[in-house]
Structure 1
């Protein structure tokens, strides 16, 4: 696990090397064990490849980067892990290649040397890397199938700049970064972020998950990012529910085996819910004798606490439990560091719980953790996506079954028939009708605390775009939604939170649910294998984990999610927060007076608490730190 940076400058200047060194400092936490960079003249331009290393596999100096292929035709800077590197290494040795190290980076280089882009579907792992082709004078930038590892890029003065984090982009650029008003509006008004290639910085982009982009140095031209991975979504009709559960069990256990490969201590983040519990229990199943350290956030004395369930799993597998309890004082103490670490605004203070879990893992000497991210987006978790499932049934003409599903679905804790009907209506309406329904619910596209005229003058499109779905499968609307959640919204911001929080403390966070093999299998199943006719989420996975995870965990109906008591944490510091919000950002985007009135109403309980309050805090502190 590492950090990467670099780019192409059409003309070298005396400050370039200094900017590269400064940029490496900004990502040193991503790789504290080693760093390196090279500045090379290519066709009259300057190519920079920089790297910071967190040693996980092959701890020797043989893993230093930039690394060259044996024939010296390719060099690479690589962030991530290739879990099946041993199998690929054996395959390449059989083809006549020799290896000098046991690093997965050398395997990646050799695989690219032999198969070039055709090597990408063979990789099981998480990665972002830049490969320089010395013969063609081209750099190829690649991001893994799910976007587990970050990759930012921008263009300046005809050149190209890339990095693992935006602060490194800022350090490499000559000019300053400016606010992306469209992205800021989407976040402030609708809580929308990390749903497309735009960042909060104008002209700075994410390389989308599963995409590749090339930059031809001689021509100074960048290609349009193109997908190297597109999931296959054809429905399978050849598997009974039991057969599907059996196959899922084997695929999941195989993924756990691969994700346990490491030359440093491995632990697990344990919330107490099904996904993280399944990861921990599967670790014990495939490695009966390995020591397991778990790390859990505990909301002590709160209805949100999952401590009881985490304890059950720790006792079941014989794990060494490590717990962290968060106070409002600690949140305020660490707030600016967490915002700095994340690099862009984010959704809620639940991210702080994760931040502290990784901090605890680092203090206990664990360098790698396995986490449960991605399961909800593959297995129809959360509330079970009732609107999408009802729409699928209606499109198939199963009207009675659709109504029956909605009625049974609504009987589960935390759900209601009104919610289910609203979700279905939201799926069956769009455009102005959907905006009207949102208005009836009290939600406006331009809240009073935003300046509508300033937004119009800036050319901001003021509407909610979160419903956009890039996959359209008639009668398979749930699968369409899950696919979109994997690559466009939902999962992307969760992966961002996990990457930045873990790397802040030089922890490698691995996500064994997210392999193309596992994902494509799940997305090929009939929808009622994922969400049962009775409304049970993760239906087939619960069946697959029988005998590995305790039944009482598999049969839970009360999962509350990874949350902190956000309202109490923030309201406890209302006077200090109000001073922050009273500051003049000199931005024009926000109607400060209206915002403060709204804030006072929330604090005095005249208005109910909403997530708007956190978004104001986050945006104000972030803007002053990164842009203002």
Structure 2
């Protein structure tokens, strides 16, 4: 696991080496074991490739980057892991490849050298990398299928630059970083972030999951990003539920087996839910004698505590448990570092719980962790997407079936028939109608602490941000929602949280549920295999894990995850929070006096607590660091 940065400059500035040093220094925790960059002079300009290394596979200096092919045609900087590198290496040796290292980096380089873009569909891993081709005079930038690893870039007239973090790309830009108003509005008003190409800094984009772009060094122009993988939701699998369960079991165990490859100590993040429990239990199933270290956030004394479930799983596998209990005072002390580590505003204080889990893993000497992220998006998790599932039934004129599903679905904890109906209505509303329905639920597109006229003058689109190009296939509405969650909105934010929190402590976080093999298989199945007619989420996944995960964990009906007592914490910190919200941010679209007045009403109990309180706090502290 590493950090990468660099780019192409037609006329390199005299301070370019200093800029690269600043860029790599900003990512020192992503790669504490080695840091270097190289300038490659061209007739038309200068290519720069930089890398910070966290040694995981082949710990020797021979695996350092940038790495060059034997004929010096290609140079590579790579952030991530290729888990099936041993299998690919054997295949490459069979066609004449000669290796100088034992690293997955060289396997990736030689695979690219021989197969080019066709190599991408052979890779099982998480990655963001840049390949310089001396012969074709190109830089090719690639991001993994799910966006597990980050890739930021900026295109200017005189140069193209890239980096693994915002803090690392801003030193490479010609101008000072400025706020993207559209992203600020989407976050503050609607709670949305980490979707689409734009980020919170104007002019900086993210390469979308499963995409690549090419920079022509002769012209200095970058191509439009193009997809090398995208989820297909066409139902092609014609197998029974039992056969699908066996196939999924094999895919899952094979993925965990590959993700256990490491030359450094590894452990697992365990929340107590089905997904993380599946990872931990699969580790024991595959390696009966391994010493498994688990790391769990515990909201002790709270209704959201998962400690009992964590204990069940640890007891079942005989793990060495590490429990993390945190307080509001600790959050207060760590908040500046947490916000700096995340790089952009984020969703809730639950991200702090994850931050502390990785901190503890590092303290215990663990460099690699496995976790269950992505299972919900591939297997129909959360609350079962009732609106989409019923709409699929209505597409098939199955009104009675939809009503029966709603009735069964509503019997589960935390659900009710009215909520299911609201979600179904939401499926049929778009644009202004959707905004009106949100307003009826108390979610305004122009709250009084936002100056809507200023935003409109600044070109900001008001209203809930839709997804451009969202899938819309009759009878496959659930699969449409899952595919969008995987590649456009939802999973991206969760993966960002995990990447930044783990890298803050130089820990590599791996997500075995996220493989293209598993995604392609799951999205090819009938929808009722994922969400059962009775409303059970992860229906097929639970069946496939029988005998690996204890039944009492596998079929539990509630799930909390890394939930923190956020309201208690933030309201209790009112005296500290108040000055943060008072400090003038100098943003003409934000009426901070009215925002502060609403905060005071929440503290006094005259207004219900909402997720926006954290958004105000997070944004205010983050933006002060951007200034």
State TM-score, norm by structure 2. Answer: 0.99
2:203 is the counterpart of 1:203: yes
Counterparts of 1:567 and 1:10 in 2: how far apart (Å)? 52
Task: For residue 12 of structure 1, report the CA deviation from its aligned partner.
Answer: 2.0
Q: Is the 8 A contact 1:43 1:217 kept in 2?
A: no
SS of aligned partner of 1:29? coil
- Could you report, residue by residue, the CA deviation over 1:505-548 in whole angstroms, capped at 9, with x for unpaired residues? 00000000000001111111111110000000000111001110
- Could you report, residue by residue, the CA deviation over 1:396-438 in whole angstroms, capped at 9, with x for unpaired residues? 1111000000011001000011100000000022222222211
Counterparts of 1:13 and 1:251 in 2: how far apart (Å)? 50
1:57 aligns with 57
Superposed, 1:342-353 pairs within 5 Å as 342-353=342-353
SS of aligned partner of 2:29? helix
- Could you report, residue by residue, the CA deviation over 1:271-324 in whole angstroms, capped at 9, with x for unpaired residues? 000000000000100111111000000001001000110010001000000011
Superposed, 1:98-109 pairs within 5 Å as 98-109=98-109
1:375 aligns with 375
Q: Is the 8 A contact 1:89 1:107 kept in 2?
A: yes
2:616 is the counterpart of 1:616: yes
2:607 aligns with 607
2:279 aligns with 279
Counterparts of 2:350 and 2:469 in 1: how far apart (Å)? 26
- Could you report, residue by residue, the CA deviation over 1:339-376 in whole angstroms, capped at 9, with x for unpaired residues? 00111000000000000000000000000000100000
1:548 aligns with 548
SS of aligned partner of 2:465? coil
SS of aligned partner of 2:294? strand
SS of aligned partner of 1:182? helix
Task: For residue 468 of structure 1, report the CA deviation from its aligned partner.
Answer: 5.7
Task: For residue 231 of structure 1, report the CA deviation from its aligned partner.
Answer: 2.3
1:324 aligns with 324
Unaligned runs of 5+ in 2: none
Unaligned runs of 5+ in 1: none
Task: For residue 441 of structure 1, report the CA deviation from its aligned partner.
Answer: 1.3
Superposed, 1:111-510 pairs within 5 Å as 111-466=111-466, 470-510=470-510
Task: For residue 187 of structure 1, report the CA deviation from its aligned partner.
Answer: 0.4
- Could you report, residue by residue, the CA deviation over 1:552-581 in whole angstroms, capped at 9, with x for unpaired residues? 001101212321110011111101101110
SS of aligned partner of 1:93? helix
Q: Is the 8 A contact 2:155 2:222 kept in 1?
A: no
Task: For residue 13 of structure 1, report the CA deviation from its aligned partner.
Answer: 2.4
Counterparts of 1:234 and 1:216 in 2: how far apart (Å)? 35
Task: For residue 40 of structure 1, report the CA deviation from its aligned partner.
Answer: 1.4
1:512 aligns with 512
Task: For residue 237 of structure 1, report the CA deviation from its aligned partner.
Answer: 4.8
SS of aligned partner of 1:79? strand
SS of aligned partner of 1:52? strand
2:23 aligns with 23
State TM-score, norm by structure 1. Answer: 0.99
Counterparts of 2:466 and 2:356 in 1: how far apart (Å)? 29
Q: Is the 8 A contact 1:469 1:484 kept in 2?
A: no
1:559 aligns with 559
Task: For residue 174 of structure 1, report the CA deviation from its aligned partner.
Answer: 2.8
Of 411-420 and 589-598, the range deviating more from structure 2: 589-598
Task: For residue 467 of structure 1, report the CA deviation from its aligned partner.
Answer: 6.0
Task: For residue 440 of structure 1, report the CA deviation from its aligned partner.
Answer: 1.4
Counterparts of 1:508 and 1:524 in 2: how far apart (Å)? 31
Q: Is the 8 A contact 1:469 1:480 kept in 2?
A: no
SS of aligned partner of 1:30? coil
2:71 is the counterpart of 1:34: no
SS of aligned partner of 2:557? coil
Counterparts of 2:177 and 2:214 in 1: how far apart (Å)? 24
- Could you report, residue by residue, the CA deviation over 1:202-250 in whole angstroms, capped at 9, with x for unpaired residues? 1100000000100011211100000011223221352111111111111
